[in-house]
Amino acid sequence: MTTASADPNDWWRSAVVYQIYPRSFADHDGDGTGDVRGIIDHLPHLATLGVDALWVSPWYPSPMADGGYDISDYCAIAPEFGTLADAEELVARAHEAGLRVLLDLVPNHTSDAHPLFQRALAGGPDAPERELFHFRPGRGDGSEPPTNWVAMFGGSAWTRVTEPDGTPGPWYLGLFTPEQPDWNWENPAVAEMFDDVLRFWFDRGIDGFRIDVADSMVKDMSFPDLPIDPRTGVATLEKIVGGPLRDRPEVEHIHRRWRAVADSYDPPRVFVSEAWLTPAPRLAKFVAPGRLHTTFNFDHLNCAWDRDSLRGVINATEKAYAEVGAPSTWVLSNHDTPRVASRYGKAVTGRMFDADGNVTDSRVGPGGWQAMLELPTDLALGRRRARAAALLELALPGGAYVYQGDELGLDEVEDLPDEARQDPTFARTNHEIWGRDGCRVPLPWSGTEPPFGFGPGTGQPWLPQPARWTGQTVADQEADPTSHLALYRALLAERRSDPALRGPDFAWVDDAPETVLAFTRGDAFACWVNFGPDAVELPAAYAVVLASEPLTDGRLGADQAVWLRLSRPGR
Ligand code: TEU
């Protein structure tokens, strides 16, 4: 039997990484916004939970046009989040608690408040800083954008500038919002600048970076128009193989360059790539030898709660990543996607995949989350499935991600008042797409009413918390052995104690009932998940180690999962 690697530098191959969205994690100073000291205050929560690492979403100075992904200084901490000294203290305290720390690198774009972009604007047509961005003349008399590209969060991907003398000027590219101009990676100065950013933080002891939109830095510099998506009527930027914007082969050079910087440190630092590419082989090449280390497996996140679809995704993932010698990862949600407990309680729970891991429908996708969000939610069902999904995720080989609040089974806050919504998508789509605020509502820590201990006193957080979270705080769940939190703690403790769960061995149990997804890890561990409506018998040779919920008559019911260990040979 193969067990987990003994090399401590391989920690990332089986790590469980907890995502912190700093605005919404914990507020130490009481201004309604989470901060670095709030993270320090709650490190014991993460250590007790049993994760291996934390990834902190951007905490850098930012006008917050895109929740911090519009960065005006890559080497500082936003004043509302704290100071560089606080960040250094967090890294040191996390390391003392046995937790590694990943930060968020956003290399595709910056903020329009970044000094270099400001100089590009203020310096007029000949400003050398314009070469750092994609400034292009408009079409026709200059008043039409250079291409038909539509930005991720709505509207044109091009914004026309006004020159310092008041005349209309060229257009600049921003694939997300106008406040996020894209860097021009054809310019070597950009690559050098990002090497320095990596070193700045690596020198401060961080263990690695999550890389935002790791597939999009290189553009087709002939700037062709995109085909119109018949579903949306606009030129979509997504998912076009061989298209001008995503997954261009030259991004490999950038990945290798970063890898060399990471490998020059002792211990080597690591990267996880964020790229919404499918199917698995398209993404797995990002983690080929010499490139990045791991990549979020968004096929898993997108996949419906459906036995055959999940089996197809797991098979395709295992195959594609094994071919490049990289571990798989598993991810159920993040700060961009509806909460898993809500998603799994809807009539459509995600995309369907075939046995080879290819998407066979497109019910989720551009604008698709909105269609899903508008479906009614059976939250009891969603939570039941979310518990089972945690057993499945944490039993699969490779790394896993836990988004803050998923360990509490929090639901998507779909009923935020319009005036509270801050995600740029909402304003830029005429309020048609609610956007991502519903999964970013500040965490409930204690107490019986908002702010639920998010900050000191009674001041309310930057997004309102629903009163229905009463009883679901960390404190409530710590006191309840049947809680979502208690389940996560037990799962993570078991995962830590069993080397088979951290090693690469994985095999399907082919004689399980047809509604069940069942697999073994090593010689003695098995995970069973029942997707069917009827309860099934469990294999007699195994004892239940952990169950997503109490079993009735020892049988595995609908939407339940168990971790099993061989109790006697000869099954
Ligand atoms: O997201 C990348 C991205 O492409 C997302 O827009 C994704 O497709 C969508 O949210 C799926 O629902 C990253 C960050 O995670 C996101 O928060 C940023 O807004 C975006 O990059 C721009 O930096």
Q: Are 414 and 342 spatial neighbours (Cβ–Cβ below 8 Å)?
A: yes
Q: How far is the CA of 173 from the centre of ligand 1 (A)?
A: 17
Ligand 1 atom 2: the closest Cα is on which residue?
Answer: 213
Find the angle CA(58)-CA(61)-CA(65) to the nearest 5 degrees.
75
What is the model's pLDDT at position 363? Answer: 62
Q: Tell which atom from ligand 1 comes closest to the C-alpha of 70.
A: 23
Expressed in angstroms and rounded, the spacing between residue 133 Cα and the centre of ligand 1 is 20
Strand residues in 79-144 grouped as ranges (E): 100-105, 135-136
Residue to substitute in 20, 74, 106, 152 for testing ligand 1 pocket (most ligand atoms within 8 angstroms of CB):
152
Q: Which of these ranges, 233-237, 383-387, 435-439, has the smallest mean pLDDT?
A: 233-237
Whole-number Å distance, alpha carbon 545 to ligand 1 midpoint, is: 37
Instruction: Give residue 336 CA to ligand 1 midpoint distance, Å.
Output: 6
> H or E element: which one contains 46?
helix 43-49
16 C-alpha to center of ligand 1: Å?
21
Mean pLDDT, rounded, of the chain? 95
Residue range 263-275, pLDDT digits in tens: 999 999 999 999 9
CA-to-CA distance for 266 and 261, rounded, in angstroms? 11
pTM of structure: 0.97
Burial of residue 397 (number of CB atoms within 10 Å: 0-12, 13-18, 19+): buried
Lowest average pLDDT, out of 62-66, 149-153, 301-305, goes to: 149-153
- pLDDT-based confidence at 366, cuts 50/70/90? very low
Ligand 1, residues at Cβ distance < 6 Å: 66, 69, 106, 152, 176, 212-213, 276, 335-337, 369
Neighbours of 170 (CB within 10 A): 17
| Average confidence (pLDDT) over 487-511 | 97
Pick from 273, 274, 283, 272: which is nearest to 323 by CA? 283
**Does 364 have pLDDT greater than 90?**
no
* DSSP label of 545: E
What integer pLDDT is reported at residue 61 of this predicted model? Answer: 98
Distances (CA, A) of 163 to 120, 123, 348, 522, 540: 10, 8, 49, 65, 76
Mean pLDDT confidence for 459-484: 98
pLDDT, mean of residues 152-176: 96
